[in-house]
């Protein structure tokens, strides 16, 4: 089912930013945050077959600022799972696609302790994040430790936003411009903290009444999303979301 040039992402429309998490073989997946490498391959092949290219969010926004980007889709991977290097990177390489990895520098080499249910999944070490960056993946911040910023006090919000950026920049030697709100939750205080910390954009899931480059909506992609579901979800995404101001 094709996506026409008229319905492809373009400036003034809703950016198409896909949200992934873990890529691996985990039959126990209560939060539906895992896709298998084989499913990811089929999903990216579907994009390529429609004439679309997966890129980092930074590259997508830069193209839209130039009035371009009609054939670009932002690919994001939250939490910084170790399986990104093992399973996602090879598939991205196969299609020549870029991506943004939102990491948790306060949990390097740890696991997804914030998930009460399901398996413990290892997170990337500092070396793993450097490897992803060296292969052209944009590294963004997901906070230090995966804290819901809408429920944290001001001091913790500032630490999660500011210190995570500084740590990742020291680790990679490159600017960190993107932030991703843990759990996708967002309010004006969190938006202000991210903007004040020097980021240029931030990703949410459903930003509600908030709008702009610090409240980018994303499209959840899971294991059950085949070609038909991807097409329908993208069409719904465009219908439900408002155009993002300034993007």
CB 101 within 8 A of CB 129: yes
Output the average pLDDT for the chain.
Answer: 93
pLDDT of 5 over the 50 cut: no
**pTM for the model:** 0.94
- Residues contacting residue 193 through CB under 8 Å, at least 6 positions apart: 149, 157, 158, 161
Angle value at C-alpha 197, between 191 and 198, nearest 5 degrees = 100
Residue found by looking up tokens 């001001």 in the block: 154
* pLDDT per residue as tens digits for the range 91-138: 999 999 999 999 999 999 999 999 999 999 999 999 999 999 999 999
Residue-wise pLDDT for 176-210, tens only, equals 999 999 999 999 999 999 999 999 999 999 999 99
3-class secondary structure for the chain? Answer: CCCCCCCCCCCCCCCCEEEECEECCCCCCCCCCEECHHHHHHHHHHHHHCCCEEECHHHHHHHHHCCCCCCEEEEEEECCECHHHHHHHHHHHHHCCCCEEEECHHHCCCECCCCCCCCCCEECCHHHHHHHHHCCCEEEECCCCCCCHHHCCHHHHHHHHHHHHHHHHHHHCCCCCEEECHHHCCCHHHHHHHHHCCCCEEECCCCCCCCCCCCECCEECCCCCCHHHHHHHHHHHHHHCCCCCCC
């Amino acid at each position: 089912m094709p996506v026409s040039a008229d319905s492809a992402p373009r400036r003034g429309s809703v950016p198409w930013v896909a949200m992934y998490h873990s890529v691996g073989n985990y039959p126990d997946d209560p939060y539906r945050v895992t896709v298998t490498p084989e499913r990811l391959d089929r999903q990216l092949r579907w994009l390529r077959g429609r004439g679309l290219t997966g890129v980092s969010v930074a590259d997508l926004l830069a193209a839209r600022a130039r009035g371009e980007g009609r054939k670009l889709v932002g690919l994001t991977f939250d939490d910084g799972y170790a399986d990104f290097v093992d399973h996602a990177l090879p598939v991205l390489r196969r299609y020549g696609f870029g991506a943004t990895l939102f990491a948790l520098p306060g949990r390097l080499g740890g696991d997804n302790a914030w998930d009460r249910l399901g398996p413990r999944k290892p997170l990337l070490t500092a070396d793993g994040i450097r490897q992803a960056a060296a292969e052209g993946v944009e590294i963004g911040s997901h906070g230090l430790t995966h804290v819901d910023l809408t429920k944290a006090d001001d001091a913790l919000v500032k630490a999660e936003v500011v210190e995570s950026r500084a740590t990742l920049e020291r680790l990679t030697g490159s600017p960190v411009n993107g932030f991703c709100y843990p759990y996708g939750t967002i309010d004006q205080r969190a938006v202000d903290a991210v903007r004040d910390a020097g980021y240029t954009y931030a990703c949410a899931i459903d930003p509600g009444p908030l709008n702009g480059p610090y409240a980018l909506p994303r499209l959840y992609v899971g294991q059950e999303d085949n070609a038909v579901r991807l097409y329908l979800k993208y069409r719904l995404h465009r219908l439900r979301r408002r155009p993002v101001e300034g993007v």
